[in-house]
Every structure is written in structure tokens, then in C-alpha cells.
Amino acid sequence: MRPFDKCPVCGGDLENKRVEKILQGGGNTVSIKVFAAVCLHCGERLYPEAVIRSFEDIRGKLQQKEFSHFLPLGQSFTVDSDWPNEAVQSIT
């Protein structure tokens, strides 16, 4: 049972969906898939409490550089200082 029948942001209908969530901590990033109630109108995502606790655990492990339960997945990049459009800046 969901805590909300309708989206608390816009009042739209909610549907349970499997979504991708990006978590960051300590300059590191993890990509995971979880179930969430997603608003069909505005896209707001409502996560179960246990999933939110897992988000906090994962961010803590990333912050502490404890990678024992994580698998490498590709590479991450940012633009360098010579990028031709000054409206786009490096995150470093």
C-alpha cells in the first residue's frame, strides 16, 4: 500500500514503475534501478521508506570510499576548461 493515492505535488495519478536513480557521494556516482510510485502528470517520484534508507547507506559508502558492494560501470567525464561554449562549465 502506498502512503499517497494521488501525487502530493500536483494531484496526478501515481503508477508503480521501475526507475533509474543516480546517487552521489564523495565525488563518486552509483546508478541503480528501484521501484517508485511515479506521477503520470508531473513525474514526481515517491520512494518507499526502505528504499530511501538504502539511498542513505549507498551515499555513506560512496563518501567513505567503501566500494565492496559496487561494480564498475563505464567511465565518467566532465568538460575541460577549453570547452568552446562558456555556458557549459566543468564540475571540478
Calpha distance 82→87 (Å, rounded): 12
Domain ranges in the chain are 1-92
Mean pLDDT of 70-88: 87
80 pLDDT band (50/70/90 cuts)?
A: confident
Beta bridge partners, 18, equal: 35
Beta bridge partners, 56, equal: none
Q: Mind listing the pLDDT tens digit for each residue in 17-76?
A: 999 999 999 989 999 999 999 999 999 999 999 999 999 999 999 999 999 999 999 888
4 or 71: which leads in pLDDT: 71
Grid look-up 546517487 returns 23
- Predicted TM-score (pTM) of this structure: 0.80
What class does CATH assign to 1-92? Answer: alpha beta
